[in-house]
Structure 1
Amino acid sequence: MLSSMTYLQQVRWFKRLVFLICCLPIVWLAWQGYNHHLGANPIEAAIHETGLWALRFLLITLAATPMRRFLGWYWPTQLRRMLGLFAFFYACLHLTSYVYLDQYFAWTDILEDILMRPYIALGMSAWFLLLPLAVTSSNKMIKRLGGKHWSRLHKLVYVIATLGILHYALLIKAGWSLATPYIVVFIILMVLRMPSTSKT
């Protein structure tokens, strides 16, 4: 019993440590903003950085299953929900930075952006698909939906990651060159997950 409790305590403290680490990007971004180190266009920098971290956390979340399968590491799967929620958190900051800081809630202009700029439409689509995954991430929602339906819903994460990468690639001036590492990582993760796609 003692060893079991000790293990649970270690897991709990480890999760707290990872939580704090996941908060570091926004703390660092806020610090840079406070000290006027975000460049000539701080709003654009905030939008860019929060979006990148949303994509990074999404890919890290997808890496949990391959790490368990090929490396025998079970601890990433225990962090998967938290990491997925951090992906949503940074996606919300990304969206808020665009809607509030950049557009000042000018809904007509935002709608025009969605219709005229494909990367905006892709980003919005990714966020709206990510929303139900965040809402249904709790154990209570898993029981309510049933494991089979819940698992089917959460396979949307692959679509979301694809949309997120396309959103980034079309947004930046450098185009696909800066997005290539994310594309490569995503493809590798998908290949590593292929043997058990019928089970997960």
Structure 2
Amino acid sequence: MRYPWFRLAIFIVGCAFPLWWLYEAAMNLLGPDPGKILMDRLGLGALIFLLITLSMTPLQKLTGWSGWIVVRRQLGLWCFAYIVLHILCYLFFILGLDWGQFAVELRKRPYIIVGALGFVGLLALAVTSNRNSQRRLGARWKKLHKLVYVILGLGLLHFLWIVRSDLREWAIYAGIGGLLMMLRIPAVARRVPRILGRRGRVAS
């Protein structure tokens, strides 16, 4: 297995945050509504993991180090894991497993539908992230996994709908997402390494 230390570091980080948040909840450090705090933190954690996952390809192109691509699948699966925990927190702590209330919530809060669509997309990517699916789907695999860009848009829209009264934090994540999308434009992707290379030669 290539870069085991890097994989291990990501695994430790991925586990550490939910475990720490659970500890805070057990110690009554999350205020009067710990379930909602856990749900919000897991949702934001999933968005951050998604952005980090999308940054692996640009980092590989900029640095030439293959380790970024090696851990891309692992990061994507952590994003999916956080989303699953986010949904479980919503079902247990917000709904109390009351499915009748869920229908009411859908009518009152349509951003839940947007989040659900993002989850379905992530589920499709997680299920087909293995090498067997890649071989079986062939060229269709890359087309399917471009769905990640739509998922990012849905995730940012879901987040925007929730924090619409304070856009500063949302703007940071949206800006990072926009930059990562720009770096995937072929003309931009070709120019950035050249610009950095010229700057490096000037500095030396």
Same fold (TM over 0.5): yes
Structure 2 residue 148 is the aligned partner of structure 1 residue 162: no
- Structure 2 segments unaligned to the other structure (5+ residues): 189-204
**Quick one: which amino acid aligns to residue 157 of structure 1?**
V
Corresponding residue pairs, total = 188
Q: Is contact 1:169–1:178 with CA below 8 Å preserved after alignment?
A: no
RMSD, matched Cα: 1.7
Gaps of 5+ in 1: 1-7
| Matching residue of 1:142 | 134
Structure 2 counterpart of 1:21, one-letter code: V
Name the residue aligned to 2:44. 52
Equivalent residue of 1:193, what SS?
coil
2:79 aligned residue: 87
Residue pair 1:62, 1:189 contacting (<8 A) in 2 also: yes
Please, which moves more after superposition, 68-77 or 95-104? 68-77
Moved over 4 A (4+): none
Instruction: State how far apart, in whole Å, the 1-side matches of 2:186 and 2:28 are.
Output: 48
Q: How does 1:1-200 map to 2 (within 5 A)?
A: 11-146=3-138, 148-172=139-163, 174-195=165-186
Point out the more displaced range, 130-139 or 97-106. 97-106
The change in CA–CA distance for 1:175 and 1:126 in structure 2 (over 3 A counts) is: farther
Kept after mapping to 2: 8 A contact 1:115/1:121: no
Q: TM-score scaled to structure 1, two decimals?
A: 0.88
Cα distance in structure 2, aligned partners of 1:109 and 1:172: 22
TM-superposition CA deviations, 1:55-90 (whole Å, max 9, x none): 000000000111011222321111100000000000
Aligned to 1:5: none
The superposition leaves residues 91-110 of structure 1 with CA deviations (integer Å, 9 ceiling, x where unpaired) of 00001100122102212221
Query: C-alpha separation between the residues in 1 aligned to 2:86 and 2:106?
Result: 15
Quote the sequence identity (%).
Answer: 36
